[in-house]
Structure 1
Amino acid sequence: MLQEQTKSLNSFPNLQALCKKDEKQKQSLEKLLQHKPHVVKSLDIYAQNIEEYLKDQRKRIAYLKKREEPYYEQKPIQAYDEALIMQYNRVKAKQHYLQQSQKKISQQPSPEQPRNRTPSKYFDKNYNPLKRNEKFDIPSLQPVNVSPPKELKPIQFRYNYAMQINDPLLRQVLSTRQQWFEVPNNSFAHLQWLTQLLDFSNLSKQDVVSKRQMVNLMEFQHEWSAKSQLYNNLCSISPEHALKVLPPGFVLNFKISQWVEDLEFIQDYLITHHSQKETQQKFPFSVYVPNKGGQTYNKQISKLIQDVPKIWICKSAIGSGATILNSVDQLHQFLIQQYKDQKEYVIQKYITNPLLYDGKKFDIQINVLVNQDNQIFVSAEPTGRCCTVNYDPNSEDPFAHTKPKQAISHKGLVEFLDSQGISLQDLLTQIKTSISLIPCKLNRRQRKYCMQIFGFDYLLDDTKKIHLIGINANPIYTYAELDGAFKLTLDKIFPINNNYKSDEKSIWTCLF
């Protein structure tokens, strides 16, 4: 029964509807149905699709005929359809110019009608060349419904750190800046807070805000933090200039070939000015002599020392290793202990008349900020440290001379200075004068995004004179100092809306 239905054309209503008026086509389809019924079946499906397409076209034509207003006026144009808006404006402008040209043509006389020629400009006294320039206003275009612009998401900045002392403080300060969040040390970070120098060539060199990378270290920080390098930088200007900032002393650098001559000169100088010359003997120091050249200014400084000190202090150029010495043997013992870890030393005059804090030796610590433009800012809140043992120049206890452990707050330091007749303003003036004499060669390659906070250690003697005894590359700072430093550096490199008060007084004062 099914086979009989498929052999008749009545089972394909779509083909039957197409072949109503064409008998020849109907006969050919019936023959094809007998031999290849599957082909006729596919034709029926194809005819059904054609019929649906024609119905859609008829509906569309009927819909367009009924519409009176143009498409662009019926549906509001979205903001992203800029090309559609421009095309719409061009069509309106063309229609306007076409209407104007048609008006001109309608106003012109017909060829049968004689022309009304105006007299020549040479004979017309009221001729004006601008008279024929017709002026007309282009009608204002129809307003377009534009959706309001979307608010851009704020850029999120990343930071990581390898500090140990000021880690909680760094998190606390950056938590007030909403767009900063912490990432692991191995991932990309806009701010890298480090304790050791890195390869600056690996940092991103792109100037786009989202790709900038900033570090808290200057590339040539050793120009300040290394005591031997600081001596040489000041002496390169003049040895007299160096003695205005630092106590008189000598440099012993085992990284250059001149250390053999320097060590022999220092031993001769100590033996010559020792109270018991006969008991002092030179010691041999057999270590590697490098081929690297270098220059020291020990002989020039020795000629400027007027009162030869009896007590000296030997310090490692980088680090906290130090000892009091007054003989060549003590120098020999110190070099044997420290040579494996340190290769640069400074032998300075020991200040034997320090100003005492409750009978103890103390020093003053003040933080100095150097920003990416090599500008120097000095903190307005110095602090201090004092030893735990009362001072005695004849004592051999290092906790009475070189190891201050007890911290002195800013308030406690100001009260102590007032009791000694020293105002904070006078102290800051002396410190700023001392810092201004130090050449700033920390950013010689003009790195754009770097900054660093240095800790300057000063010793105050009983004559109220300050002596620079060292510069720390990783000092301890307060919340106000770090937050103020970020306002001068980080917030300018990575601008964000932090809602800071403009009248807020900064703890940092610009030196130059």
Structure 2
Amino acid sequence: MLQQQIQDQNEINSSFNLIPRSSYKPLNPKVKVFYYYVAPGNNSKLIISAMQKRKNWQESENYLFHFQWNMNDKNFQYCSLNQSQIQIVNHLPNHRELTLKCNLIRNLKQFCQTNKKYVWDITPLSFIVEFNAQENNLNKVLKEFTLAYEQFQPLSSMKTQFNYFTKHNSQYFLPKMHHSFLDEENNYIWILKPNEFNRGRGIQFFRTIEELKSLLKNFNKGSSEYQFSQGKIKSSSFVIQKYIQRPLLLDGRKFDIRVWVLVTYTFDIFIFNQGYARLSSDMFDLNNLDAFIHLTNNAVQKYSKNYGFFELGNQMSYSELNYYTNGEFTKTVLPKIKSIIVLTWMAVQNTFKKCKYSFEIFGYDFMLDEQLKPWLIEINTNPCLEESSPLLKELIPKMINDAFKIVIDPLFTKINEPTDWEHLLQL
């Protein structure tokens, strides 16, 4: 019995759960009391705190809710939401069209081909790899990547484009090597990213095809260890991405930029006016592929002995970025980032299903090269809400509270207040 109770509780915590329609009791619209349910995980106390500040809201005791917050929407049926009483959830149907690495690349390539834009000016040169356990299939599934690898490797004697690329009318995603992808010493570094993992889990670096094949075999067996947690990672779906080897550095260290994006069920797209840079703990060095040098995720960096030595939480605000770039971050970089965000949603607008009253907060990750060009790295569902520095203790609660002012308050209390979310467009 105890084991069954634990299993039932885990099921409640791992996905959205709705009272069956047969037992759903309509709420009295004259009683201005609304119910919320927040599942555990990813600093769920912050969400509860934001809801406790709102009048006429109470925490649900029986999973009957007007608003539910969950880390994921696994096994959730959006069609079961009760539209007449307004039930709102914090995930959008089909969000995996952007938040799964392989889907993001596919959708960007298709959109750019249709709209005559060059996709590898938006995101680093990338290849999708999906394979099964048979070793003799590796050469086949790696064919496209291998051709590009051989063409662009330093001192390559291959001068012509391959028919493999041109026969598909693929001029707008034809591989090319951007200046930022190679350094003066002709280092040649690629990144292997498991499709469904986030927070730096499973990311590996390689220089040769032989190293890549060895990594893929280990992942397929489930023997690739993730050094910052217990257990091993198993995957058969990956994105191979060219490493940006000429990044802009802050005090000699690599960084990326976390940007929060809010999307409502009406496809109103907002960007939060404040964000932060995530810095590595060690000095940039292409000859050393240590994770504390090259992976800026806080989930990785917090294990470094130098974590927090240079700045609290290895994080900088937008205003500090602006200082380091002599004002160019606000003047030129942010407008380009906003354009890329809009483009990603234009790329998937026809595949997304609208569902009242769902919404989602996404974590976009960008890198800047030494010429201040922003590169989209990936898009995250359930972005980290850990208040791991004084900066994030200030930013994250405000970001969440202001998001709720847009997607919750007007629906239930008819209150409209100004926020720090900038409306980009409605698709």
Same fold, judged at TM 0.5 (above): yes
Q: Name which of 140, 143, 146 aligns with 1:267.
A: 146
Q: CA deviation at 1:444?
A: 2.6
1:313 pairs with one of 191, 197, 206: 191
The Cα offsets for residues 129-154 of structure 1, whole Å up to 9 and x where unpaired, read as xxxxxxxxxxxxxxxxxxxxxxx963
Structure 2 partner of 1:447: 355
Q: Does 1:231 align with 2:95?
A: no
2:409 pairs with 1:496? no
Deviation at 1:383, TM superposition (A): 0.6
Alpha carbons of structure 1 residues 347 and 399: separation in structure 2 relative to 1, 3 Å = same
> Residue 280 of structure 2 contacts residue 314 of structure 2 at CA under 8 Å; is this kept in 1?
no
Cα pair distance change 1:371/1:249, threshold 3 Å: same
TM-superposed CA distance for 1:217, in Å, is 0.7
Contact residue 381 and residue 410 of structure 1 kept, 8 A: no
Task: Report the AA paired with residue 216 of structure 2.
Answer: L
Give 2:399's match in structure 1, choosing from 471, 474, 481. 481
Moved more, 335-344 or 437-446: 437-446
1:192 and 2:85 aligned: no
Tell me the residue number matched to 2:12: none
Looking at both structures, which has the greater relative contact order when contacts are Cα pairs under 8 Å and sequence separation is at least 6? 2
Identity percentage of aligned residues:
26
Q: What is the rounded CA distance, in whole Å, between the counterparts of 2:370 and 2:50 in structure 1?
A: 39
Change (3 A) 1:492 1:241: farther
Q: How does 1:404-419 map to 2 (within 5 A)?
A: 404=297, 405=301, 407-409=313-315, 411=317, 413-419=318-324
Specify the code of the residue in structure 1 equivalent to 2:243: Y
Paired residues of 2:42 and 2:71 also in contact (CA < 8 A): no
1:244 corresponds to which residue? 121
1:213 aligns with 2:121: no
Quick one: structure 1 residues 188 and 264, their matched pair in 2 at CA, closer, same or farther if it must change by over 3 Å?
same
8 Å CA contact retained: 1:191, 1:215: yes
**In structure 2, distance between residues paired with 1:508 and 1:333:** 45
Q: Residues 340-379 of structure 1: matches in 2 within 5 Å?
A: 340=222, 341-379=234-272
User: Any unmatched runs of 5+ in structure 2?
Assistant: 1-28, 158-167, 183-187, 223-233, 302-306, 308-312, 386-395
Shift of 1:311: 1.7
Cα 1:204/1:158, change in 2 over 3 Å? farther
CA RMSD, Structure 1 to Structure 2 (Å): 3.1
Q: Aligned AA for 1:177? A: R
Q: Aligned equivalents of 1:455 and 1:202: distance in 2?
A: 22
Aligned counterparts of 1:476 and 1:462: Cα–Cα separation in 2: 27
Question: Secondary structure in 1 aligned to 2:118?
Answer: helix
Q: So what's the TM-score if we normalise by structure 1?
A: 0.59
Q: Residue 420 in 1 paired to residue 420 in 2?
A: no
Residue 393 of structure 1: SS of its match in structure 2?
coil
- 1:92-171 equivalences under 5 Å are 154-171=31-48
Q: How far, CA to CA, are the matches of 1:417 and 1:235 in structure 2?
A: 32
In the alignment, which residue of structure 1 is the partner of 2:366?
458
Q: In structure 1, how many angstroms separate the alpha carbons of the residues matched to 2:237 and 2:316?
A: 33
Q: Is 1:387 equivalent to 2:387 in the alignment?
A: no
Q: Is contact 2:263–2:360 with CA below 8 Å preserved after alignment?
A: yes
| Structure 1 residue aligned with 2:18 | none
Deviations 1:186-228 (A, max 9, x none): 622221211222445465454333xx22110111111111111
Match of 1:336 in 2: 217
Q: Secondary structure at the match of 1:208?
A: coil
Q: Aligned pair in 2 of structure 1 residues 356, 158: CA closer, same or farther (>3 Å)?
A: same
Please tell me the residue identity of whatever aligns with 2:271. Answer: V
Amino acid across the alignment from 2:50: V
SS at match of 2:353: coil
Q: Do the aligned residues in 2 keep the contact of 1:253 with 1:344 (CA within 8 Å)?
A: yes
- Map of 1:7-86 to 2, 5 A cutoff? none
Asked if structure 2 preserves the Cα contact closer than 8 Å seen for 1:157 and 1:179, the reply is yes
* Cα distance in 2, alignment partners of residues 228 and 247 from structure 1: 13
Structure with the bigger percentage of strand: 2
Q: Highest CA radius of gyration, 1 or 2? A: 1
User: CA offset at residue 268 of structure 1?
Assistant: 4.2
Partner of 1:431: 337
Cα 1:371/1:300, change in 2 over 3 Å: closer
Note the C-alpha offset of 1:443.
Answer: 7.1
Is the contact made by 2:190 and 2:240 (CA closer than 8 Å) also made in structure 1? yes
Q: Deviating runs (4+, > 6 A) in structure 1?
A: 257-260, 296-300
Give the aligned residue type for 1:479: P
State the distance in 2 between where 1:241 and 1:274 align.
Answer: 21
Partners of 1:202 and 1:511 in 2: CA distance:
26
User: Does the Cα contact within 8 Å between 2:366 and 2:375 map onto a contact in 1?
Assistant: yes
Q: Say yes or no: does 1:396 pair with 2:280.
A: no
Deviation (angstroms), 1:246:
0.6
Measure, in 2, the Cα distance between the counterparts of 1:277 and 1:409.
39
Match of 2:226 in 1: none
Q: Alpha-carbon deviation of 1:451? A: 0.4
* Letter of the structure 2 residue corresponding to residue 418 of structure 1: Y
Inter-CA distance 244–306: structure 2 relative to 1 (3 Å threshold): closer
Q: Does the CA contact (< 8 Å) of 1:377 and 1:510 recur in 2?
A: yes
3-state secondary structure, aligned to 1:370: strand
In 2, Cα distance between the equivalents of 1:409 and 1:403? Answer: 10
Q: CA deviation at 1:262?
A: 3.2
Q: Tell me: CA distance 1:389–1:215, structure 2 relative to 1, closer, same or farther (3 Å).
A: same
2:204 paired residue number: 323
| Contact kept? 1:314, 1:345, Cα under 8 Å | yes
Structure 1: how far apart are the matches of 2:257 and 2:169?
Answer: 28
Cα 1:297–1:166 change in 2 (3 A) is: farther
Contact 2:364–2:380, Cα closer than 8 Å, also in 1: yes
Alignment check: 8 A CA contact 1:203 1:213 kept: no
